Amino acid sequence: MDIEPAKTEAYVVDVFGPVADPENDFADVYVRLEDGREYVATFLTPSYLRERMARHARTGEHGGGRYFWVEDMCIVASLDQQTVEMCVADLVDDDLLAHVFDEVDREAVAEGENVCEEDFADPVDAAA
């Protein structure tokens, strides 16, 4: 399932890649504000989190599945269009976007630096 970019007067929201199962998946969500600043966060569902922790319990990773972390993580009930848009709108309205998302350093990216490597990785790999 593809989530279409959403545009308001204040920002644009885009989801990187298709979401296989809106109830059990993760996706990187990008927000570009009207002033040009860009932010990224990893959205994931509780089902996805439970599955990863169960896998880690089997493999011994992350204290045998006793913890899980992803930088700039936001847990959502579902990775559907409406939920993603509502979440971003609430974070913007409550002035929390910069606390949940990581700002993308476009100057460093333009210079060829990989400044957000952790943010663009699979959360399972990033948490390993």
In a domain, 83, yes or no: yes
Question: Residue 111 corresponds to which amino acid?
Answer: E
pLDDT at 6: 74
* C-alpha closest to that of 71 among 31, 115, 116: 116
Is residue 28 over pLDDT 70?
yes
Is residue 106 over pLDDT 50?
yes
In a domain, 1, yes or no: no
**pLDDT, tens digit, for every residue of 35-48?**
999 999 999 999 99
In a domain, 127, yes or no: no
Range of the domain at 104: 6-121
**pLDDT, tens digit, for every residue of 62-104?**
999 999 988 899 999 999 999 999 999 999 999 999 999 999 9
In a domain, 86, yes or no: yes
Q: What distance in Å separates the CA atoms of residue 74 and residue 94, rounded to the nearest whole number?
A: 15
Q: What distance in Å separates the CA atoms of residue 10 and residue 74, rounded to the nearest whole number?
A: 21
Q: Which residue has the tokens 């350093």?
A: 105
Band (116; pLDDT cuts 50, 70, 90) = very low
In a domain, 126, yes or no: no
Q: How many domains does the chain have?
A: 1
User: Got the DSSP string for 11-62?
Assistant: EEEEEES--S-TTS-EEEEEEEETTS-EEEEEEE-HHHHHHHHHHHHHH-HH
Question: Model pTM?
Answer: 0.78
In a domain, 84, yes or no: yes
In a domain, 96, yes or no: yes
pLDDT at 96: 96
In a domain, 128, yes or no: no
